[in-house]
Amino acid sequence: MTTRPLRRLGFLTIGLFDPADPGPGHASTLRLIELGERLGMDSAWLRHRHLQHGISSPVAVLAAASQRTRRIELGTAVTPLGWENPLRVAEDWATVDVLSGGRLNPGFSVGTPMQWEHVRGALYPDTAEAEDFTYARVERVLALLRGDRASSFAGTQGIETFSERVEPHSPGLLARCWYGGASIASARWAGSQGLNLLTSSVVKAEDHGLTGEGDFGRIQRAHIDTFRAAHPEGERARVSQGLVVIPTDSASADQRERYAAYAASRLERTRAPQGPGRLLFAPDLVGPSDELAERLRAHPGFQAVDEVAFALPFTFGEADYEQILTDLATRLGPALGWSPAP
């Protein structure tokens, strides 16, 4: 049983849209964030979808959301930094943090961009071979957010004044940075850097005493424990869990049937590690809130956290997401000991 009552409840979405008419999809995402705030949820997170029919620029959408909300925290889960210039993304994040009144939670990861062999010519036509996709890229971003020197010049030239650091500078932003880790090594590194840790429904089934066969929860718990062991704040270090959780308390018969079919279609990949990276996926959790609460309390990863950002399922409509968010906030959250913000 968990010894950490649920303190913070959030949600994650990829913000799908019709490529022939993308406006309504983006507007729907903004309405869901507003709904989350009205329901008293603590955070709303957007996932990057580059060259797909999902949100490609969460920072732009969150800038808009910052002007339509007043309290809910806004995050990215996650921004793949291989697609970003560290200085420019630091400027964007700081700007949105200022606009939101200090509510931005940048989540990020490193690694070679997806579909690298197909996009490298458009993304880095002149520097592809020189780009560094290691943790050093994160360290550059963190240094810039901290206010370290970005330019060797500061002063006035003519009528223009220049700063040596990224502007605007938002002092509290660095403490709200999250690393999306799926391996023991990334969890340990994130902890050593004093970052917060985002865990999701995907882990690497590595050889650290666990086979990975049906063992998602224990692998995720090992990552969390490793992260906190390396973190300066130890057991107080922040970790957020991001499983796909779909309560059905107020769902119609049609919704329950579609949700069950969705989870069933994705179940096979949870039975064994997938691909050369040995990625293990968590089963989607679908059902009444009282049953979901029992399953979560028995989950080794959930037992170690006191905040979550449950992922909304892909491909469903706005009415479905409204039902899921409402049940999360009014049924499942309270069943886990959470209370909505005023």
Domain ranges of the chain: 8-150+165-335
Average pLDDT over residues 300-306: 97
Listing DSSP states for 150-200 in one string gives S-S--EEETTEEE-SS-SS--TTSGGG-EEE--SHHHHHHHHHTT-EEEE-
Given this model, what pLDDT does residue 206 score? 82
Q: Return the closest-CA partner of residue 245 out of 164, 298, 308.
A: 308
What CA–CA distance (Å, rounded) separates 204 from 277? Answer: 7
Report how far apart, in Å, the C-alpha atoms of 197 and of each of 193, 210, 269, 274 are: 11, 21, 24, 23
> Which has the higher per-residue pLDDT, 72 or 3?
72
What is the pTM assigned to this prediction?
0.96
Split at pLDDT 50, 70, 90, the class of 4 is confident
Split at pLDDT 50, 70, 90, the class of 207 is low
Q: Return the closest-CA partner of residue 35 out of 63, 13, 6, 57.
A: 13
What CA–CA distance (Å, rounded) separates 161 from 97? Answer: 23
> Is domain 8-150+165-335 annotated with CATH 3.20.20.30?
yes
pLDDT, tens digit, 9 for 90 and up, residues 125-178? 999 999 999 999 999 999 999 999 999 999 999 999 999 999 999 999 999 999
Given this model, what pLDDT does residue 265 score? 97
pLDDT, tens digit, 9 for 90 and up, residues 14-62? 999 999 999 999 999 999 999 999 999 999 999 999 999 999 999 999 9
Given this model, what pLDDT does residue 342 score? 85
pLDDT above 70 covers a percentage of the chain that reads: 97
Helix (H, G, I), strand (E, B) or coil at 318: helix
Which one-letter amino acid corresponds to residue 317? G
Q: Cα 189 vs. chain centroid, distance in angstroms?
A: 18
Measured distance between the N- and C-terminal CA atoms of the chain, rounded to whole angstroms: 28
pLDDT at residue 214 tops 80:
no
Given this model, what pLDDT does residue 20 score? 98
Given this model, what pLDDT does residue 244 score? 98
Rounded to the nearest integer, the mean pLDDT of the chain is 96
Given this model, what pLDDT does residue 208 score? 54
Given this model, what pLDDT does residue 5 score? 87
pLDDT, tens digit, 9 for 90 and up, residues 77-106? 999 999 999 999 999 999 999 999 999 999
pLDDT at residue 1 tops 70:
no
